[in-house]
A and B are shown apart, each in its own frame.
Chain A
Amino acid sequence: MLRNIALKGLRDIRRGFLWWSLGLAGFVALIVSVWPTVHSNPSLNKLAQDYPEALQAFLAFGGAVDYSSPAGYLGIELFSLMVPLLLLVAAIGTGAGAIAGEEERGTLELLLANPVSRTKVVLEKTAALVLEIAGLGLVLWLALWIGALLAKMDISAAHLAAATLMAVLLALAYGTIAILVGAATGKRTVAIGLTAAAAVAAYLVNGLAPLVHALEVPQKLSPFYHYAVSDPLRHGLSLTHIAVLVAIGGVATALAPYLFSRRDVAT
Protein backbone atom coordinates (compact mmCIF):
# COMPACT_ATOMS: atom_id res chain seq x y z
CA MET A 1 0.00 0.00 0.00
CA LEU A 2 3.05 2.26 -0.01
CA ARG A 3 4.00 1.69 -3.63
CA ASN A 4 2.66 5.00 -4.89
CA ILE A 5 0.72 8.10 -3.92
CA ALA A 6 -2.66 6.65 -4.95
CA LEU A 7 -2.31 3.49 -2.86
CA LYS A 8 -0.94 5.49 0.05
CA GLY A 9 -4.07 7.66 -0.25
CA LEU A 10 -6.27 4.57 0.05
CA ARG A 11 -4.21 3.32 2.97
CA ASP A 12 -4.84 6.60 4.78
CA ILE A 13 -8.61 6.23 4.52
CA ARG A 14 -8.84 2.49 5.19
CA ARG A 15 -10.41 2.84 8.64
CA GLY A 16 -12.76 5.56 7.46
CA PHE A 17 -13.80 3.39 4.52
CA LEU A 18 -14.80 0.58 6.83
CA TRP A 19 -17.05 2.85 8.88
CA TRP A 20 -18.57 4.46 5.79
CA SER A 21 -19.31 0.99 4.41
CA LEU A 22 -20.95 -0.14 7.61
CA GLY A 23 -22.96 3.06 7.76
CA LEU A 24 -24.17 2.83 4.18
CA ALA A 25 -25.03 -0.85 4.46
CA GLY A 26 -26.81 -0.29 7.76
CA PHE A 27 -28.81 2.57 6.34
CA VAL A 28 -29.84 0.50 3.31
CA ALA A 29 -30.80 -2.39 5.59
CA LEU A 30 -33.01 -0.09 7.66
CA ILE A 31 -34.81 1.38 4.62
CA VAL A 32 -35.27 -2.00 2.93
CA SER A 33 -36.60 -3.61 6.11
CA VAL A 34 -39.45 -1.07 6.23
CA TRP A 35 -40.51 -1.85 2.66
CA PRO A 36 -42.99 -4.67 3.49
CA THR A 37 -44.88 -2.32 5.83
CA VAL A 38 -44.95 0.51 3.30
CA HIS A 39 -45.89 -1.84 0.51
CA SER A 40 -48.89 -3.21 2.40
CA ASN A 41 -50.15 0.28 3.18
CA PRO A 42 -51.54 1.95 0.03
CA SER A 43 -52.73 5.02 1.96
CA LEU A 44 -49.13 6.20 2.30
CA ASN A 45 -48.81 6.41 -1.45
CA LYS A 46 -52.04 8.36 -1.70
CA LEU A 47 -50.84 10.76 0.97
CA ALA A 48 -47.55 11.34 -0.85
CA GLN A 49 -49.30 11.97 -4.12
CA ASP A 50 -51.39 14.66 -2.44
CA TYR A 51 -48.24 16.51 -1.35
CA PRO A 52 -47.65 19.92 -2.92
CA GLU A 53 -45.81 19.74 -6.21
CA ALA A 54 -42.78 21.51 -4.74
CA LEU A 55 -42.33 18.83 -2.13
CA GLN A 56 -42.87 16.04 -4.63
CA ALA A 57 -40.10 17.41 -6.83
CA PHE A 58 -37.67 17.18 -3.93
CA LEU A 59 -38.93 13.80 -2.78
CA ALA A 60 -38.77 11.91 -6.02
CA PHE A 61 -35.72 10.55 -7.78
CA GLY A 62 -36.19 11.17 -11.47
CA GLY A 63 -39.74 9.91 -12.01
CA ALA A 64 -42.94 10.57 -10.12
CA VAL A 65 -43.48 10.20 -6.39
CA ASP A 66 -44.61 6.64 -5.91
CA TYR A 67 -44.50 4.57 -2.74
CA SER A 68 -46.13 1.55 -4.33
CA SER A 69 -43.17 0.25 -6.38
CA PRO A 70 -39.66 -0.68 -5.12
CA ALA A 71 -38.11 1.73 -7.62
CA GLY A 72 -40.27 4.60 -6.42
CA TYR A 73 -39.73 3.73 -2.77
CA LEU A 74 -35.93 3.41 -3.00
CA GLY A 75 -35.80 6.57 -5.07
CA ILE A 76 -37.64 8.58 -2.43
CA GLU A 77 -35.99 7.09 0.64
CA LEU A 78 -32.44 6.64 -0.62
CA PHE A 79 -31.52 8.16 -3.95
CA SER A 80 -33.32 11.49 -3.87
CA LEU A 81 -31.29 12.76 -0.94
CA MET A 82 -29.55 10.43 1.49
CA VAL A 83 -27.34 8.42 -0.86
CA PRO A 84 -25.99 11.41 -2.78
CA LEU A 85 -25.60 13.32 0.48
CA LEU A 86 -23.53 10.59 2.10
CA LEU A 87 -21.39 9.95 -0.96
CA LEU A 88 -20.85 13.67 -1.47
CA VAL A 89 -19.73 14.13 2.12
CA ALA A 90 -17.23 11.30 1.69
CA ALA A 91 -16.01 12.56 -1.69
CA ILE A 92 -15.73 16.22 -0.72
CA GLY A 93 -13.91 15.29 2.48
CA THR A 94 -11.36 13.17 0.65
CA GLY A 95 -11.07 15.64 -2.21
CA ALA A 96 -10.48 18.65 0.02
CA GLY A 97 -7.89 16.72 1.99
CA ALA A 98 -6.02 15.48 -1.06
CA ILE A 99 -3.82 18.50 -1.70
CA ALA A 100 -5.01 21.18 0.70
CA GLY A 101 -5.16 18.85 3.71
CA GLU A 102 -1.67 17.60 3.16
CA GLU A 103 -0.47 21.13 2.54
CA GLU A 104 -1.99 22.42 5.78
CA ARG A 105 -0.46 19.57 7.76
CA GLY A 106 2.87 20.45 6.17
CA THR A 107 3.60 16.99 4.79
CA LEU A 108 3.24 18.17 1.19
CA GLU A 109 6.64 19.85 1.44
CA LEU A 110 8.35 16.55 2.12
CA LEU A 111 6.25 14.66 -0.44
CA LEU A 112 7.22 17.20 -3.10
CA ALA A 113 10.91 16.81 -2.26
CA ASN A 114 10.62 13.43 -3.98
CA PRO A 115 10.99 13.24 -7.76
CA VAL A 116 7.26 13.43 -8.47
CA SER A 117 5.64 16.20 -10.47
CA ARG A 118 2.76 18.13 -9.03
CA THR A 119 0.60 16.83 -11.87
CA LYS A 120 1.37 13.28 -10.83
CA VAL A 121 0.51 14.06 -7.21
CA VAL A 122 -2.90 15.48 -8.21
CA LEU A 123 -3.70 12.66 -10.62
CA GLU A 124 -2.75 9.90 -8.20
CA LYS A 125 -4.77 11.53 -5.44
CA THR A 126 -7.68 11.73 -7.87
CA ALA A 127 -7.25 8.04 -8.65
CA ALA A 128 -7.45 7.29 -4.92
CA LEU A 129 -10.68 9.30 -4.69
CA VAL A 130 -12.19 7.44 -7.64
CA LEU A 131 -11.30 4.07 -6.10
CA GLU A 132 -12.68 5.08 -2.71
CA ILE A 133 -16.03 6.31 -4.02
CA ALA A 134 -16.33 3.42 -6.48
CA GLY A 135 -15.67 1.09 -3.54
CA LEU A 136 -18.41 2.73 -1.51
CA GLY A 137 -20.68 2.44 -4.55
CA LEU A 138 -19.95 -1.25 -4.75
CA VAL A 139 -20.79 -1.68 -1.07
CA LEU A 140 -23.98 0.29 -1.56
CA TRP A 141 -25.01 -1.74 -4.58
CA LEU A 142 -24.31 -5.05 -2.81
CA ALA A 143 -26.33 -3.93 0.21
CA LEU A 144 -29.21 -2.88 -2.05
CA TRP A 145 -29.14 -6.04 -4.10
CA ILE A 146 -29.02 -8.37 -1.11
CA GLY A 147 -31.61 -6.26 0.71
CA ALA A 148 -33.93 -6.29 -2.29
CA LEU A 149 -33.65 -10.08 -2.56
CA LEU A 150 -34.38 -10.56 1.13
CA ALA A 151 -37.30 -8.12 1.13
CA LYS A 152 -38.60 -9.66 -2.10
CA MET A 153 -38.52 -6.32 -3.90
CA ASP A 154 -39.29 -6.49 -7.59
CA ILE A 155 -36.31 -4.54 -8.91
CA SER A 156 -33.39 -5.66 -11.04
CA ALA A 157 -29.79 -5.67 -9.93
CA ALA A 158 -28.98 -3.74 -13.12
CA HIS A 159 -31.34 -0.90 -12.26
CA LEU A 160 -29.93 -0.74 -8.74
CA ALA A 161 -26.45 -0.62 -10.27
CA ALA A 162 -27.53 2.14 -12.65
CA ALA A 163 -28.78 4.36 -9.83
CA THR A 164 -25.68 3.61 -7.76
CA LEU A 165 -23.41 4.45 -10.67
CA MET A 166 -25.12 7.81 -11.15
CA ALA A 167 -24.67 8.57 -7.44
CA VAL A 168 -20.99 7.61 -7.65
CA LEU A 169 -20.48 9.84 -10.69
CA LEU A 170 -22.29 12.73 -9.00
CA ALA A 171 -20.11 12.35 -5.90
CA LEU A 172 -16.96 12.15 -8.03
CA ALA A 173 -17.92 15.33 -9.88
CA TYR A 174 -17.98 17.18 -6.56
CA GLY A 175 -15.01 15.29 -5.13
CA THR A 176 -12.84 16.35 -8.07
CA ILE A 177 -14.11 19.93 -7.72
CA ALA A 178 -12.99 19.80 -4.07
CA ILE A 179 -9.55 18.57 -5.23
CA LEU A 180 -9.47 21.42 -7.75
CA VAL A 181 -10.32 24.11 -5.19
CA GLY A 182 -7.86 22.62 -2.70
CA ALA A 183 -5.13 22.39 -5.32
CA ALA A 184 -5.75 25.97 -6.40
CA THR A 185 -5.98 27.53 -2.93
CA GLY A 186 -4.20 25.15 -0.55
CA LYS A 187 -6.99 25.70 1.96
CA ARG A 188 -9.04 22.76 3.08
CA THR A 189 -11.91 24.70 4.61
CA VAL A 190 -12.24 26.77 1.43
CA ALA A 191 -12.32 23.59 -0.63
CA ILE A 192 -15.02 22.05 1.56
CA GLY A 193 -17.01 25.26 1.87
CA LEU A 194 -17.05 26.25 -1.78
CA THR A 195 -17.76 22.76 -3.03
CA ALA A 196 -20.51 22.10 -0.50
CA ALA A 197 -22.10 25.48 -1.28
CA ALA A 198 -21.98 24.71 -4.99
CA ALA A 199 -23.61 21.34 -4.35
CA VAL A 200 -26.40 22.78 -2.21
CA ALA A 201 -27.08 25.48 -4.81
CA ALA A 202 -27.20 22.92 -7.63
CA TYR A 203 -29.49 20.70 -5.57
CA LEU A 204 -31.91 23.56 -4.88
CA VAL A 205 -31.88 24.76 -8.48
CA ASN A 206 -32.78 21.28 -9.65
CA GLY A 207 -35.47 20.82 -7.00
CA LEU A 208 -37.08 24.22 -7.46
CA ALA A 209 -36.98 24.29 -11.25
CA PRO A 210 -40.45 22.69 -11.70
CA LEU A 211 -41.90 25.60 -9.71
CA VAL A 212 -39.77 28.52 -10.78
CA HIS A 213 -39.91 29.18 -14.48
CA ALA A 214 -36.66 31.15 -14.49
CA LEU A 215 -34.74 28.12 -13.28
CA GLU A 216 -35.58 25.93 -16.25
CA VAL A 217 -32.35 26.71 -18.08
CA PRO A 218 -30.04 26.76 -15.04
CA GLN A 219 -31.51 23.42 -14.05
CA LYS A 220 -29.86 21.82 -17.08
CA LEU A 221 -26.52 22.93 -15.65
CA SER A 222 -27.15 21.28 -12.30
CA PRO A 223 -25.28 18.00 -11.82
CA PHE A 224 -28.22 16.85 -9.70
CA TYR A 225 -30.49 17.16 -12.73
CA HIS A 226 -28.28 14.86 -14.76
CA TYR A 227 -27.95 12.51 -11.82
CA ALA A 228 -31.69 11.92 -11.53
CA VAL A 229 -33.47 12.92 -14.70
CA SER A 230 -33.08 9.65 -16.59
CA ASP A 231 -34.86 7.86 -13.71
CA PRO A 232 -32.18 5.14 -13.47
CA LEU A 233 -34.08 2.91 -11.03
CA ARG A 234 -36.83 2.42 -13.61
CA HIS A 235 -35.11 2.99 -16.94
CA GLY A 236 -31.43 2.23 -16.38
CA LEU A 237 -28.63 4.35 -17.73
CA SER A 238 -28.60 7.23 -20.17
CA LEU A 239 -25.27 7.90 -21.85
CA THR A 240 -25.90 11.63 -22.25
CA HIS A 241 -26.31 12.22 -18.55
CA ILE A 242 -23.39 9.97 -17.65
CA ALA A 243 -21.30 11.96 -20.11
CA VAL A 244 -22.23 15.27 -18.47
CA LEU A 245 -21.22 14.08 -15.00
CA VAL A 246 -18.01 12.50 -16.28
CA ALA A 247 -17.21 15.69 -18.18
CA ILE A 248 -17.54 17.79 -15.01
CA GLY A 249 -15.11 15.50 -13.21
CA GLY A 250 -12.84 15.45 -16.23
CA VAL A 251 -12.64 19.22 -16.52
CA ALA A 252 -11.98 19.60 -12.78
CA THR A 253 -9.27 16.93 -12.99
CA ALA A 254 -7.66 18.60 -15.99
CA LEU A 255 -7.64 22.04 -14.35
CA ALA A 256 -6.37 20.96 -10.94
CA PRO A 257 -2.78 20.07 -11.95
CA TYR A 258 -2.57 23.23 -14.02
CA LEU A 259 -3.56 25.53 -11.16
CA PHE A 260 -1.55 23.56 -8.59
CA SER A 261 1.62 23.65 -10.68
CA ARG A 262 1.46 27.40 -11.12
CA ARG A 263 1.40 28.44 -7.50
CA ASP A 264 3.66 28.49 -4.46
CA VAL A 265 3.21 25.78 -1.88
CA ALA A 266 2.48 27.20 1.56
CA THR A 267 4.94 26.73 4.40
Chain B
Amino acid sequence: MAEVIRAEQLTKSYGQNRGIIDVDFSVEGGEVFGYLGPNGAGKSTTIRLLLDLIRPTSGRLTLFGLDSRRKSVEIRRRLGYLPGDLRLYERMTGGDLLTYFGHLRGLDGLQRGRQLAERLDLDLGRQIKELSRGNRQKVGIVQAFMHEPDLLVLDEPTSGLDPLVQETFSELVAEATRRGGTIFLSSHVLSEVQHMADRVGLIREGRLDLVDSVENLRAAFTHVEATFAEPPPADAFAGVAGVERIEQDGNVVRFPFEGEIDPLLKALARFHVKALDVREADLEDVFLARYRGEAPNAS
Protein backbone atom coordinates (compact mmCIF):
# COMPACT_ATOMS: atom_id res chain seq x y z
CA MET B 1 0.00 0.00 0.00
CA ALA B 2 1.07 3.56 -0.60
CA GLU B 3 3.03 5.63 1.83
CA VAL B 4 0.76 7.59 4.14
CA ILE B 5 3.32 9.59 6.09
CA ARG B 6 6.82 10.52 5.02
CA ALA B 7 9.18 12.65 7.08
CA GLU B 8 12.55 13.64 5.66
CA GLN B 9 15.13 15.38 7.81
CA LEU B 10 12.24 16.84 9.69
CA THR B 11 13.46 19.40 12.20
CA LYS B 12 11.64 21.67 14.57
CA SER B 13 13.60 23.85 16.92
CA TYR B 14 12.08 26.01 19.60
CA GLY B 15 13.73 28.70 21.67
CA GLN B 16 14.99 26.82 24.68
CA ASN B 17 12.82 23.74 24.42
CA ARG B 18 14.11 20.78 22.57
CA GLY B 19 12.19 20.01 19.41
CA ILE B 20 13.08 17.29 16.98
CA ILE B 21 16.20 17.00 14.82
CA ASP B 22 16.56 15.36 11.40
CA VAL B 23 13.77 12.88 11.87
CA ASP B 24 13.29 10.45 8.98
CA PHE B 25 10.59 7.84 8.82
CA SER B 26 7.71 6.68 6.74
CA VAL B 27 4.46 4.96 7.55
CA GLU B 28 2.81 2.64 5.07
CA GLY B 29 -0.92 2.49 4.44
CA GLY B 30 -2.70 0.00 6.66
CA GLU B 31 -0.02 -0.30 9.29
CA VAL B 32 0.02 0.60 12.96
CA PHE B 33 3.13 2.62 13.66
CA GLY B 34 4.08 2.96 17.30
CA TYR B 35 5.92 6.13 18.18
CA LEU B 36 7.72 5.68 21.44
CA GLY B 37 9.77 7.85 23.66
CA PRO B 38 10.06 9.31 27.11
CA ASN B 39 8.02 12.38 27.94
CA GLY B 40 9.58 15.44 26.38
CA ALA B 41 11.52 13.47 23.78
CA GLY B 42 9.64 14.99 20.85
CA LYS B 43 6.62 12.75 20.38
CA SER B 44 4.06 15.52 20.62
CA THR B 45 6.22 17.86 18.53
CA THR B 46 6.15 15.32 15.71
CA ILE B 47 2.41 14.88 16.06
CA ARG B 48 1.73 18.60 16.10
CA LEU B 49 3.75 18.88 12.88
CA LEU B 50 1.55 16.20 11.29
CA LEU B 51 -1.51 18.29 12.21
CA ASP B 52 0.06 21.54 10.94
CA LEU B 53 -0.42 23.08 14.37
CA ILE B 54 3.28 23.92 14.29
CA ARG B 55 5.59 24.34 11.32
CA PRO B 56 8.87 22.59 10.59
CA THR B 57 12.06 24.61 10.88
CA SER B 58 13.47 22.51 8.06
CA GLY B 59 12.92 19.23 6.31
CA ARG B 60 9.94 17.83 4.52
CA LEU B 61 6.75 16.25 5.74
CA THR B 62 4.08 14.78 3.52
CA LEU B 63 0.85 12.96 4.33
CA PHE B 64 -0.94 11.07 1.58
CA GLY B 65 1.75 12.53 -0.66
CA LEU B 66 0.55 16.05 0.15
CA ASP B 67 2.62 18.78 1.74
CA SER B 68 1.77 18.97 5.45
CA ARG B 69 1.53 22.73 5.33
CA ARG B 70 0.11 23.76 2.03
CA LYS B 71 -2.45 20.96 1.82
CA SER B 72 -3.27 20.79 5.49
CA VAL B 73 -7.03 21.16 5.11
CA GLU B 74 -7.17 18.34 2.56
CA ILE B 75 -5.02 16.19 4.81
CA ARG B 76 -7.14 16.88 7.88
CA ARG B 77 -10.25 15.87 5.96
CA ARG B 78 -8.80 12.34 5.91
CA LEU B 79 -7.36 12.38 9.40
CA GLY B 80 -8.66 11.77 12.91
CA TYR B 81 -6.75 13.18 15.87
CA LEU B 82 -6.73 12.42 19.55
CA PRO B 83 -4.45 14.89 21.38
CA GLY B 84 -2.31 13.77 24.27
CA ASP B 85 -3.45 16.71 26.32
CA LEU B 86 -7.13 16.53 25.45
CA ARG B 87 -9.08 19.76 26.05
CA LEU B 88 -12.75 19.81 25.22
CA TYR B 89 -15.46 22.47 25.26
CA GLU B 90 -16.43 22.23 28.91
CA ARG B 91 -19.89 23.70 28.56
CA MET B 92 -21.00 21.44 25.74
CA THR B 93 -22.37 17.96 26.05
CA GLY B 94 -20.48 15.14 24.38
CA GLY B 95 -23.30 14.97 21.83
CA ASP B 96 -23.04 18.71 21.08
CA LEU B 97 -19.32 18.37 20.49
CA LEU B 98 -19.83 15.50 18.07
CA THR B 99 -22.60 17.42 16.29
CA TYR B 100 -20.35 20.46 15.92
CA PHE B 101 -17.37 18.53 14.60
CA GLY B 102 -19.69 16.45 12.43
CA HIS B 103 -20.87 19.65 10.75
CA LEU B 104 -17.31 20.92 10.33
CA ARG B 105 -16.47 17.63 8.65
CA GLY B 106 -19.62 17.65 6.56
CA LEU B 107 -20.84 14.33 7.96
CA ASP B 108 -24.38 13.29 7.12
CA GLY B 109 -25.33 12.31 10.61
CA LEU B 110 -24.02 11.01 13.86
CA GLN B 111 -24.98 7.36 13.59
CA ARG B 112 -21.37 6.25 13.61
CA GLY B 113 -20.52 8.55 16.53
CA ARG B 114 -23.47 7.27 18.54
CA GLN B 115 -22.51 3.67 17.84
CA LEU B 116 -18.97 4.32 19.05
CA ALA B 117 -20.24 6.06 22.17
CA GLU B 118 -22.46 3.10 22.90
CA ARG B 119 -19.62 0.64 22.52
CA LEU B 120 -17.47 2.70 24.84
CA ASP B 121 -20.38 3.10 27.26
CA LEU B 122 -20.26 6.90 27.03
CA ASP B 123 -23.26 9.07 27.94
CA LEU B 124 -23.43 11.75 25.23
CA GLY B 125 -26.10 13.75 27.07
CA ARG B 126 -23.87 14.93 29.89
CA GLN B 127 -21.94 18.16 29.99
CA ILE B 128 -18.27 17.59 29.43
CA LYS B 129 -17.31 19.48 32.58
CA GLU B 130 -19.12 16.81 34.61
CA LEU B 131 -17.30 13.92 32.96
CA SER B 132 -14.50 11.91 34.56
CA ARG B 133 -11.09 11.77 32.92
CA GLY B 134 -11.85 8.38 31.40
CA ASN B 135 -15.14 9.58 29.94
CA ARG B 136 -13.53 12.70 28.47
CA GLN B 137 -10.99 10.44 26.84
CA LYS B 138 -13.88 8.48 25.35
CA VAL B 139 -15.30 11.68 23.84
CA GLY B 140 -11.85 12.28 22.35
CA ILE B 141 -11.74 8.78 20.92
CA VAL B 142 -15.22 9.02 19.40
CA GLN B 143 -14.50 12.36 17.69
CA ALA B 144 -11.27 10.94 16.27
CA PHE B 145 -12.87 7.75 14.92
CA MET B 146 -16.37 8.84 13.93
CA HIS B 147 -15.62 9.86 10.35
CA GLU B 148 -13.67 6.65 9.68
CA PRO B 149 -10.52 8.53 8.69
CA ASP B 150 -7.77 7.09 6.51
CA LEU B 151 -5.20 8.08 9.10
CA LEU B 152 -5.61 8.14 12.86
CA VAL B 153 -3.08 10.10 14.88
CA LEU B 154 -3.43 9.02 18.48
CA ASP B 155 -1.32 10.58 21.21
CA GLU B 156 -1.31 8.47 24.39
CA PRO B 157 -4.78 7.20 23.53
CA THR B 158 -5.44 4.92 26.45
CA SER B 159 -4.47 7.27 29.26
CA GLY B 160 -7.23 7.34 31.84
CA LEU B 161 -9.12 4.38 30.37
CA ASP B 162 -9.92 1.36 32.48
CA PRO B 163 -8.71 -2.05 31.19
CA LEU B 164 -12.09 -3.04 29.79
CA VAL B 165 -12.35 0.12 27.72
CA GLN B 166 -8.72 -0.27 26.67
CA GLU B 167 -9.76 -3.60 25.21
CA THR B 168 -12.59 -1.97 23.26
CA PHE B 169 -10.12 0.64 22.09
CA SER B 170 -7.76 -2.04 20.72
CA GLU B 171 -10.70 -3.51 18.86
CA LEU B 172 -11.46 -0.13 17.32
CA VAL B 173 -7.86 0.17 16.19
CA ALA B 174 -7.96 -3.32 14.71
CA GLU B 175 -11.22 -2.54 12.88
CA ALA B 176 -9.75 0.67 11.53
CA THR B 177 -6.75 -1.13 10.03
CA ARG B 178 -9.01 -3.83 8.60
CA ARG B 179 -10.81 -1.04 6.76
CA GLY B 180 -7.43 -0.05 5.34
CA GLY B 181 -6.82 2.74 7.80
CA THR B 182 -3.38 3.70 9.04
CA ILE B 183 -2.57 4.38 12.68
CA PHE B 184 0.14 6.60 14.10
CA LEU B 185 0.16 5.76 17.77
CA SER B 186 2.30 7.55 20.29
CA SER B 187 2.77 6.11 23.70
CA HIS B 188 5.19 5.61 26.51
CA VAL B 189 3.48 2.36 27.55
CA LEU B 190 5.50 -0.31 25.78
CA SER B 191 3.17 -3.20 26.46
CA GLU B 192 0.34 -1.32 24.76
CA VAL B 193 2.41 -0.58 21.69
CA GLN B 194 3.77 -4.11 21.53
CA HIS B 195 0.21 -5.34 21.55
CA MET B 196 -1.02 -3.09 18.72
CA ALA B 197 1.86 -1.86 16.57
CA ASP B 198 3.41 -3.46 13.50
CA ARG B 199 6.45 -1.24 13.59
CA VAL B 200 7.87 1.13 16.14
CA GLY B 201 10.06 4.19 16.08
CA LEU B 202 11.86 5.27 19.18
CA ILE B 203 12.56 8.94 19.71
CA ARG B 204 15.03 10.13 22.32
CA GLU B 205 16.11 13.69 22.93
CA GLY B 206 14.58 14.80 19.66
CA ARG B 207 16.27 12.21 17.48
CA LEU B 208 14.66 9.14 16.01
CA ASP B 209 16.93 6.39 17.22
CA LEU B 210 15.49 3.31 15.76
CA VAL B 211 12.72 2.18 13.48
CA ASP B 212 12.01 -1.49 13.17
CA SER B 213 9.20 -3.99 13.24
CA VAL B 214 8.07 -5.18 16.63
CA GLU B 215 8.71 -8.73 15.44
CA ASN B 216 12.36 -8.06 14.53
CA LEU B 217 13.03 -6.20 17.72
CA ARG B 218 11.64 -8.95 19.85
CA ALA B 219 13.29 -11.71 17.82
CA ALA B 220 16.68 -10.07 18.18
CA PHE B 221 16.49 -10.43 21.93
CA THR B 222 15.76 -13.34 24.14
CA HIS B 223 15.31 -13.38 27.81
CA VAL B 224 17.39 -16.09 29.51
CA GLU B 225 16.82 -17.49 32.96
CA ALA B 226 19.11 -20.31 34.13
CA THR B 227 18.87 -22.16 37.46
CA PHE B 228 22.02 -23.87 38.69
CA ALA B 229 22.66 -26.52 41.29
CA GLU B 230 24.77 -24.05 43.22
CA PRO B 231 25.47 -20.33 42.75
CA PRO B 232 28.00 -19.78 39.93
CA PRO B 233 30.80 -17.24 40.48
CA ALA B 234 29.64 -13.65 40.03
CA ASP B 235 31.54 -13.02 36.80
CA ALA B 236 30.93 -16.46 35.28
CA PHE B 237 29.12 -15.15 32.16
CA ALA B 238 30.41 -11.61 31.95
CA GLY B 239 32.69 -12.34 29.03
CA VAL B 240 30.14 -14.15 26.86
CA ALA B 241 29.17 -12.30 23.67
CA GLY B 242 25.64 -10.86 23.74
CA VAL B 243 25.22 -11.05 27.48
CA GLU B 244 24.56 -7.88 29.38
CA ARG B 245 22.98 -6.70 32.57
CA ILE B 246 23.24 -9.97 34.45
CA GLU B 247 21.04 -10.32 37.50
CA GLN B 248 21.96 -13.04 39.93
CA ASP B 249 19.68 -14.19 42.68
CA GLY B 250 21.34 -17.10 44.50
CA ASN B 251 21.21 -20.07 42.15
CA VAL B 252 19.22 -18.20 39.52
CA VAL B 253 20.84 -16.04 36.83
CA ARG B 254 18.78 -13.82 34.47
CA PHE B 255 19.81 -11.64 31.56
CA PRO B 256 18.60 -10.41 28.18
CA PHE B 257 20.55 -11.97 25.37
CA GLU B 258 21.27 -10.89 21.83
CA GLY B 259 23.14 -12.85 19.17
CA GLU B 260 24.21 -16.42 18.53
CA ILE B 261 23.20 -18.80 21.26
CA ASP B 262 25.88 -21.52 20.90
CA PRO B 263 28.69 -19.75 22.86
CA LEU B 264 26.20 -19.00 25.59
CA LEU B 265 25.07 -22.60 25.89
CA LYS B 266 28.69 -23.72 26.16
CA ALA B 267 29.36 -21.15 28.83
CA LEU B 268 26.29 -22.25 30.79
CA ALA B 269 27.24 -25.91 30.44
CA ARG B 270 30.41 -25.34 32.43
CA PHE B 271 28.16 -25.41 35.49
CA HIS B 272 25.46 -27.79 36.63
CA VAL B 273 22.27 -26.46 35.00
CA LYS B 274 19.02 -27.49 36.73
CA ALA B 275 16.63 -25.53 34.53
CA LEU B 276 16.85 -23.22 31.53
CA ASP B 277 14.16 -20.84 30.28
CA VAL B 278 14.78 -18.97 27.02
CA ARG B 279 11.89 -16.85 25.81
CA GLU B 280 11.24 -14.00 23.41
CA ALA B 281 11.84 -10.64 25.01
CA ASP B 282 9.17 -7.98 25.55
CA LEU B 283 9.72 -4.63 23.92
CA GLU B 284 10.53 -3.46 27.37
CA ASP B 285 13.43 -5.92 27.67
CA VAL B 286 14.64 -4.78 24.26
CA PHE B 287 14.73 -1.17 25.24
CA LEU B 288 16.15 -1.84 28.65
CA ALA B 289 18.93 -3.81 27.06
CA ARG B 290 19.60 -1.16 24.46
CA TYR B 291 19.45 1.86 26.63
CA ARG B 292 20.63 0.51 29.94
CA GLY B 293 17.91 1.81 32.09
CA GLU B 294 16.95 4.82 29.99
CA ALA B 295 14.00 2.91 28.62
CA PRO B 296 11.01 4.94 27.57
CA ASN B 297 8.81 3.28 30.10
CA ALA B 298 7.77 5.86 32.63
CA SER B 299 4.82 4.06 34.12
* Interface residue ranges, A against B (CB under 8 Å): 2-5, 8, 12, 105-107, 109-117, 264-265, 267
Contacts and interface: CB of A to CB of B under 8 A. Distances in A.
Which one of A107, A114, A267 has the highest number of Cβ atoms from chain B below 10 Å of its Cβ? A114
A110 B77 contact: no
A172 to B, nearest CB: 25
B54 interface: yes
Contacts of A12: 91
Nearest to A12: B91
B103 interface: yes
A114 B76 contact: yes
B97 to A, nearest CB: 9
Contacts, number: 64
B69 to A, nearest CB: 10
Interface stretch (B82-90, B171-179, B222-230): B82-90
Contacts of A106: 85, 87
B87 A264 contact: no
A264 B73 contact: no
Given A107-B88, A114-B76, A265 B54 contact: yes
A94 to B, nearest CB: 16
B83 A114 contact: no
Contact of A107 (B48, B87, B103): B87
Nearest to B99: A2
Given A110-B87, A115-B77, A5 B53 contact: no
Contact of B53 (A4, A107, A114, A265): A265
Contacts of B101: 114
A110 B101 CA distance: 9
Indicate the member of B80, B89, B143 with the most A CB atoms within 10 Å.
Answer: B89
A195 B48 CA distance: 30
A116 B81 contact: no
Contacts of B54: 264-265
Interface in B50-84: 51-55, 72-74, 76-77, 79-81, 83
B44 A267 contact: yes
B271 interface: no
A116 B100 contact: no
A260 to B, nearest CB: 12
B143 A110 contact: yes
B104 interface: yes
Contacts of A117: 72-73
Contacts of B88: 107, 110
Contacts of B44: 267
Contact of B103 (A2, A110, A113, A265): A2
Contacts of A110: 81, 83, 86-88, 140, 143
A88 B88 CA distance: 29
Interface string B131-152: 0000000001001000000000
A109 B104 contact: no
B241 to A, nearest CB: 45
16 contacts: A2-B99, A3-B103, A4-B104, A107-B87, A107-B88, A109-B53, A109-B85, A109-B87, A111-B104, A113-B83, A116-B76, A116-B104, A264-B55, A265-B54, A267-B44, A267-B85
A114 B104 CA distance: 7
Contact of B76 (A3, A8, A115, A264): A115
B180 to A, nearest CB: 20
B96 interface: yes
Contact of B96 (A2, A115, A264, A265): A2
A12 B73 CA distance: 25
Given A109-B85, A110-B140, A115-B77, 19 more contacts: A2-B99, A3-B103, A105-B87, A106-B87, A107-B87, A107-B89, A109-B87, A110-B88, A112-B51, A112-B53, A112-B76, A113-B51, A113-B76, A113-B83, A115-B76, A117-B72, A265-B48, A267-B44, A267-B48
A105 B103 CA distance: 22
Given A109-B87, A110-B83, A115-B73, A8 B100 contact: yes
Contacts of B73: 115-117
